[in-house]
Structure 1
Amino acid sequence: MKNISTPSLPHVRNFALGLLISLPLTGIGTGLHASVDRTAFEAVAPTIEQARANILISRQLQFTHLRDQTINDELAGEVFADYLDYLDGQRIYLTQKDIDDFEPLKESMGASLRTGQLQPGFDIYNRVQTRILERLDYALGQLEEGIGQFQSESDETLLLDRSKADWEPDQEALDQLWDKRLRNAVLGQRLNGSSDEEIIEVLTRRYESQRKRISQMRSEDAFQAYMNAFTGTWDPHTSYFSPRNSENFNINMSLSLEGIGAVLQSDNEYTKVVRLVPGGPAARQSQLSPADRIVSVKQEDEEEPTNVIGWRLDEVVDLIRGPRGSTVTLEVIPATASDETVTRTISIKRDKVKLEEQSAQSDVIELDRNGETYRIGLIDIPTFYADFQAMQRGDPDYKSTTRDVRRLLENLKEERNIDGLVVDLRNNGGGALHEANDLVGLFIDQGPTVQIRGTDDQVQVLADQDPSVAWDGPMVVLVNRMSASASEIFAGAIQDYGRGLVVGSQTFGKGTVQAVRSLNHGQLKITQSKFYRVSGGSTQHRGVIPDIKIPSRIDNSRIGEDSLERALPWDQIEAVPHARYFDFSNVIDDLRDRHQARFSENPEFRLLQKEIDFLEEQRETTMVSLNEDKRRRYQNELERRQLTIANARRELRGEEPFESFEAMEEHQEQQAAAAHGNEDDELDFIVREGGHIMADMLELDRRMATILPSGTVTARAQ
């Protein structure tokens, strides 16, 4: 990894606000210690169309959103706080005096949000942009004086996450904070082996790029930021799309098919990777990871990358998109990075998402245990797909998840003679709802699969009407934190029916449905319904809790519904009558004990646990030293531990260890250039463990070899 300064810019994704009266905010000082002659920020102003859209948004939120709340002083206070968080989430631009100046606006905000009086919100936006330019000019002025002043011999430290810190009292205190930030940026470059001249060139170019971005801000940027602070107080999936973003609505789900295949979202001033699209270039390459944050984007015909900190999501996506066969290079802060100065460069060759790699695939795991061989079928389902166009044309051979899985099951039963089945839904982010419903039907006779409650509290029940069963034997469903939406519906139904065991880690918890509604100016994506399991519990927020848990590298505090501010809560409704095929209560403790005994002796699991512990240590790090010797020792220790883990994994695979950390990075870069990386070792041994759990089930109770319904559940879920 290399170290590069990544100073924060404001969060200007789809977040915003509205106010009643216009209070001009005066007394803005420069706060600069060097003479820097640069263009000032040109204030932006609201339009009549935006004011009308604000009023429409207010009505839609109050009367059609699933969450019932009114626009009052309490809610206005939340909007005010959110707006400031999104504009200056790390509290590095505004002072406490600025916050005090804003306070009168907060008092009248409730009325302004209902009536479309936007100017006060724009005043806040304009003040923040001016403060950002002041800070960038201060940094550039310091660089013009040279970086010899940024010595790294003191024992000072820098707080990594300032989102909960107090606002600095005045400009002088901000100067001191920015001196620390600059010292940290310079130190990161020095540890990377850069000369003073190179450091000045890199940091100047970076700050100038960010400054240029601020100077190009326009009215729609302020309105979008403003309205999304407002809509976000209902839930994180309700948001405003400007007219331009309305044309690119698909960016909130994935990049275009001719792209890198990644689901992105705004995360304060950064664009964050949420998940990788199965079959996409990024997934095939295995270098980009969930929770990585994008710092810059570089095209193959460009000499210098474009810094995208503080850019809107749609603009970042526009840079990443490109023609098939071209290469885009992303500079990212890895999810595992110790601080924001540590970045990694990843080159990805754009391509179409390969549909065949999204299709369900099958395999057989053979396990020799106690003189007996178990043949466990494996079906990997990357997504819930359906060829809707072929279906509408009446094509009898149209492709879908359920049709493919039925065919694979027939082959596994008749030609492979399997004893049990493992269905792998890890990293499956969902897809077609009707496919989740139909897929459940392959494993039950008939019955409900999911409940959907709307804003009117009416509940719609989807059900399998087909009495045929494609597989009536025992099964295990593998899930992880990236299993979401339709995956959670399927896993929850299998668990509720007692049809199989769910194994892995807590799922994502995305249990809401959104609709897009046109406005006079842009569109509103609004949450209108919620999924519930047949047992009555929602999949929202809580997701599906596995029967047997396996830890994961994924950081639940950064990925998942319960990591999002104001996510709708878990709740429950009445259960619907459904069969219960097997009661696992008599065997689950024994199954867990066997699993734990096996994992305690498994070198791959011990290595995974060691890596998880290392990552958790990094996540708990709140301060970084500005002393060069201490920082170098810290970085060397991090590299040593990463190298130890990587070499232990290579030893398990019978490969030669890396001689150095640099050799490991070079190997990773070569894999990136070849557009394919190592298979994730976690996947292989967890699949095998799913097979072992299945074999345990067969050994503990031979009755499960052919499961029969054991009753009907009608009670409320507990």
Structure 2
Amino acid sequence: MPRTKATALAELFPSQTQAKTAIVINKVLERYHYGKANFDDAFAHGVVDSYLDALDPSRSFFLARDVESVQSGALRLNDSLRRGELDAAFDTFRVYRTRVDERVAHALALLSGNFDFNVDESYQFDRSKAPWAKSGAELDEIWRQRVKNDFLSLRIAGKSDDAIRERLSQRYRSLARRLQQFTAEDVFQSFMNAYTETLEPNTNYLSPSTSANFDISMKLSQEGIGVVLRSDNECTVIQRTLPGGPARESGQISAGDRIIGVAQGLGGKIEDVAGWRLQDVVDKLRGPKGSVVRLQVVSQAGGKEGVSREVALARNEIRLEDQAAKDYVIDDFPNAPGVKIGVIELPSFYRDFDAETRGQRDFRSSTRDVRQLLGKLSGQGIDGIVIDLRGSGGGSLAEATSLTGLFIDTGPVVQVKDTTGKVTMEEDQDPGMAFAGPLAILVDNQTAGASEILAATIQDTKRGLVVGLPTFGRGSIQTLVDLNRYVTDEKQDLGRLRLTMAMFYRMNGDSVQLRGIEPDIVFPFDSQILPRERLQANPLPWDRISPVSTLTYGFHLEPDVFNRHLERVRADRGFQLMAERNRRLAVLDTQKMVSLNLTDRQAKAMEDDGFRAEFDSMATQLKSESAGVDSGDGPDLGTLRESARILADCIKAGCFSKQGK
């Protein structure tokens, strides 16, 4: 339910329950967190910096003297948290809210004037590393350029000046109004997450209300558009789309796109969501099945200068069946006539633990579903299998082990090291294989966790080949800790902690952390700027442990297979467009400034629109040519089909013929 009531500043003080929660979190982290962090002065300064960045990532509200005042108390932070003293965190937030009110008032005053878009002037939109403003006058100039940039972006999008003023007035007032609705629980969660994420990015605090929402999302089907979102410097960014969801089915939404506006129904007014809290945007996207939500979206390749487009989607139920494993067959290979390749798309490693606990023998799991699909595909006479793990964020460790066992004989799958340093082995104990034929694993930068375990084991045992992009590189294992187990007062709800408590390792002893899995054949796209664990703040380091011996199955990549792949992609317009798209993204990633000259911005917008039109046209063409084959998270432009062609070439070249142990 959206919040409408403002919280008085006098209400923004920590409660006794929050003080107790801070003490408990501190003790749990000291005792159980894998990283065994040193809670020293450097760590305390890191927490303060993380908190300031969480509140003001664009450095457009706080003054330098505000920041200096907060930082001066950092040395007392560790002792304060051990005692549950949170006054400094709440003091900082109250100052922040005051500064936001001041900036919004200034922005609204600027809207009553006019802007000259003929002068050569630039705006630094990425201020994440910029110095904090030393005076109100310096902030006034930053906001003059910011409002001018917002105004210019909407003018290029074809809005009238009156409509622009109304839209931006709504945006700025909404920014202040939503911040005024922050409760003490919101402030506490923001600060504690700044604290936990200073250790590493996958440990998070869930307040009581956030925990309730988490339970709902885990137990019930959601009615929405099927996207996973993240915040990025006051923007709402689509991290990935879910299989079977309206967003992916539309073909108009891709990972990396920014949502800047949301409207309800076909005729509803667009609400500007720039600067909104992530949860508030999620609430706007949810709704009854069949209802329409309209999004204003800016393509990732358009950068900060990008022109928005509107996408209308009918909400639908995102069911387990939509995210379960799916299969299809590809059989048109010019270089390998008669070869049939089965594809199994595996969005996650799922397991119905509740049904299993109840003793239900036919509980749903990814291993059971994939085993069934392998039998079905084998009955169709397929010659090899591609397991599509693109966008698969992982899931159950038990499922990763059992599903890997479908393709190998008995033996080790993954090593796990806990917070005490003890190493255990997860093994496949089921003799034989559900599928013993040629195998390829397709991965990308969002293949993470349990998915990386499967890819690593197939590669290390030489059971098959891995193709695609280097994987995400998340080698950590999390568990959900109920903080209430550490207190005796049943009336208090402390929330929960998502805690990193172990790491997993390949059979060769290497951690997957940061480095991920390097495919045997890497597609020729620049993936350096794509989301990866190593690009997040404070990731745990890479390390290695002792290797273990394992069976090997003799796959070898013949040079001719790689050469044929290169010949195809060099002549393939879809691959050329993907390479150009990533090149553009790499350039955008280095840019911190944007022109405020109308002519320059219009020329850039026309260039970007032309590229996007060709890109979208090629994606539509390939999708029609590949009916029934999911394109993954965004335009596929032939990567799945190329993976199948590589496997077909491997079969013809005898890459799987030298079986050994």
Quote the residue 2:447 is aligned against. 483
1:583 CA drift (Å): 5.4
Gaps of 5+ in 1: 1-37, 656-675, 711-718
**CA 1:683–1:538 in structure 2 vs 1: closer, same or farther (change >3 Å)?**
same
Question: Residues 589-608 of structure 1: matches in 2 within 5 Å?
Answer: 589-608=559-578
Contact 1:255 1:262 (8 Å CA) reproduced: no
Provide closer, same or farther for how the CA distance between residues 214 and 507 of structure 1 changes in structure 2, counting only shifts above 3 A: same
Opposite residue 460 of structure 2, the aligned amino acid is D
Corresponding position of 2:341: 376
Change (3 A) 1:153 1:370: closer
Aligned equivalent of 1:182? 147
**Residues 227-266 of structure 1 aligned to structure 2 (within 5 Å):** 227-250=192-215, 256-266=221-231
Structure 1 distance, partners of 2:336, 2:54, is: 61
Aligned residue in 1 for 2:593:
623
Contact 1:147 / 1:196 at 8 angstroms: preserved in 2? Answer: no
CA contact (8 A) 1:291 1:558 kept: no
The reply to whether residue 147 of structure 1 matches residue 113 of structure 2 is yes
Cross-structure match for 1:14: none
1:59/1:371 Cα in 2 relative to 1: closer, same or farther (>3 Å)? closer
**1:576 counterpart letter in structure 2:** V
1:567-613: CA deviations, max 9, x gaps? 212222222231011153xx454433332122222233223223333
The count of residues paired between Structure 1 and Structure 2 equals 644
Q: How many angstroms apart in 1 are the aligned matches of 2:149 and 2:384?
A: 55
> Structure 1: how far apart are the matches of 2:432 and 2:457?
17
CA deviation map 1:129-166 (0-9, x unaligned)? 111110000011222xx232x11121110112110111
Q: Which moved more, 1:689-698 or 1:679-688?
A: 679-688
Q: Structure 1: how far apart are the matches of 2:508 and 2:419? A: 20
Aligned counterpart, 1:692: 645
Summarize the Cα distance change of 1:417–1:110 in structure 2 as closer, same or farther, 3 Å threshold. Answer: same
SS in 1 for 2:88: helix
Determine whether 1:408 maps to 2:373. Answer: yes
Query: CA separation in 1, counterparts of 2:193 and 2:88?
Result: 16
**Deviation, structure 1 residue 376:** 2.5
Query: Counterparts in 2 of 1:57-72, with a 5 A limit?
Result: 57-72=25-40
Aligned pair 1:708/2:659, yes or no?
yes
Conserved 8 A contact 1:147-1:200: no
| Partners of 1:255 and 1:261 within 8 A in 2 | no
In the other structure, the counterpart of 2:409 is 445
Is the 2:578–2:637 Cα contact (8 Å) retained in structure 1? Answer: no
Deviation at 1:684, TM superposition (A): 6.4
Does residue 530 of structure 2 align to residue 562 of structure 1?
no
CA distance in 1, matches of 2:593, 2:568: 38
Residue 45 of structure 1, CA deviation: 1.5
Tell me how far apart the structure 1 counterparts of residues 579 and 332 of structure 2 sit (CA, whole Å). 24
State how far apart, in whole Å, the 2-side matches of 1:167 and 1:255 are. Answer: 44
Tell me the equivalent position of 2:489: none
Cα shift readout 1:327-363 (whole Å, capped 9, x = no counterpart): 2333344322320774443333222124443333333
Alignment of 1:218-367 (within 5 A): 218-250=183-215, 256-300=221-265, 303-339=268-304, 342-367=307-332
Aligned counterparts of 1:388 and 1:122: Cα–Cα separation in 2: 40
Q: CA offsets, 1:588-639, max 9 Å, x none?
A: 5443333212222223322322333333333333321111122222222222
Q: Aligned in 2, Cα 1:431/1:518: closer, same or farther, shift over 3 Å?
A: closer
SS of 1:129's equivalent? helix
Contact 2:153–2:305, Cα closer than 8 Å, also in 1: no
- In 1, Cα distance between the equivalents of 2:513 and 2:470? 12
* 1: CA distance, partners of 2:47 / 2:208: 23
Aligned to 1:579, which of 551, 562, 571? 551
One-letter amino acid of the structure 2 residue matched with residue 545 of structure 1: E
Could you tell me the TM-score, scaled by structure 1's length?
0.83
Question: Partner amino acid for 1:58?
Answer: N
Paired with 1:165 and 1:121, the residues of 2 have a C-alpha distance of 23
**Is residue 59–residue 130 contact of structure 2 (8 Å, CA) maintained in 1?**
yes
8 Å CA contact 1:53, 1:521 repeated in 2: yes
> Does the aligned pair in 2 maintain the 1:234–1:566 contact within 8 Å?
yes
Task: Report the TM-score, using the length of structure 2 for normalisation.
Answer: 0.89
User: Following the alignment from structure 1 to structure 2, what is the Cα–Cα distance between the partners of residues 301 and 368?
Assistant: 44
Offset at residue 392 of structure 1 (A): 5.0
Whichever residue aligns with residue 335 of structure 1, its letter is Q
Q: Does 1:419 align with 2:383?
A: yes
Give matches, 1:102-113, under 5 Å. 102-113=70-81
TM-aligned CA distance change 1:588 to 1:681, over 3 Å: farther
Is residue 585 of structure 2 the alignment partner of residue 612 of structure 1?
no
**2:186 paired with 1:216:** no
- Do 2:255 and 2:633's aligned partners in 1 also have CA atoms closer than 8 Å? no
Matching residue of 2:606: 636
1:250 offset after TM fit, Å? Answer: 4.9
Q: Deviations over 1:503-533 (max 9, x none)?
A: 0001122222222223352222211111222
1:463 is the counterpart of 2:435: no
Other structure's SS at 2:462 match = coil
Per the alignment, do residues 106 and 369 of structure 1 end up closer, same or farther by CA in structure 2, a change over 3 Å counting? same
Contact 1:536 1:575 in 2 (8 A): yes
> Deviation at 1:535?
2.2
Residues in 1 aligned to 2:631 and 2:400: alpha-carbon distance in whole angstroms: 30
SS at match of 1:594: helix
**Structure 2 unaligned residues grouped into runs of 5+:** 1-5, 484-492
Q: For residue 517 of structure 1, what is the aligned residue in structure 2?
A: 481
Letter in 2 for 1:524: L
CA-atom RMSD in angstroms: 3.0
Equivalent residue for 2:95? Answer: 127
Q: Which moved more, 1:180-189 or 1:383-392?
A: 383-392
Distance in 1, matches of 2:620 and 2:190, equals 47
Equivalent-residue separation in structure 1 for 2:216 and 2:138 (angstroms): 40
1:527 maps onto 2:500 in alignment: yes
Residue 299 of structure 1: CA displacement?
2.9
CA contact (8 A) 1:41 1:214 kept: no
Secondary structure at 2:331 match in 1 = strand
Q: How far did residue 276 of structure 1 move? A: 2.0
CA distance in 2, matches of 1:307, 1:274: 20
- Per the alignment, do residues 339 and 372 of structure 1 end up closer, same or farther by CA in structure 2, a change over 3 Å counting? closer
Instruction: Please list, as runs of the form range in 1=range in 2, the aligned pairs for 1:201-212 lying within 5 A after superposition.
Output: 201-212=166-177
2:462 partner letter:
G
What CA deviation, in whole Å up to 9, does each residue of 1:369-416 have, x standing for no partner?
Answer: 568532333222233234445545655554433233333333333x43
Amino acid at match of 1:156: E
Distance verdict in 2 for CA 1:371–1:231, change over 3 Å? closer
Q: Specify the SS of the correspondent of 1:529.
A: strand
Q: Paired residue for 1:662?
A: none
Alignment match of 1:55 (pick from 6, 12, 23): 23
Question: Is the CA contact 1:286–1:677 (under 8 Å) kept in the aligned structure 2?
Answer: no
- CA distance 1:385–1:122, shift in 2 (3 Å): closer
Deviation digits for residues 181-208 of structure 1 (CA, Å, limit 9, x no counterpart): 1111221222222222222211112211
Q: CA deviation at 1:439?
A: 1.7
Equivalent residue of 1:59, what SS?
helix
* Equivalent-residue separation in structure 2 for 1:601 and 1:419 (angstroms): 26
Tell me how far apart the structure 1 counterparts of residues 188 and 233 of structure 2 sit (CA, whole Å). Answer: 17
Structure 1 distance, partners of 2:334, 2:305, is 48
Q: Secondary structure at the match of 1:63?
A: helix
2:510 to 537, 549, 554: 537
Secondary structure of residue in 1 paired with 2:300? coil
Alpha-carbon distance between aligned partners in 2 of 1:678 and 1:441, rounded to the nearest angstrom: 27
Asked if 1 retains the 8 angstrom alpha-carbon contact of 2:200 and 2:539, the reply is yes
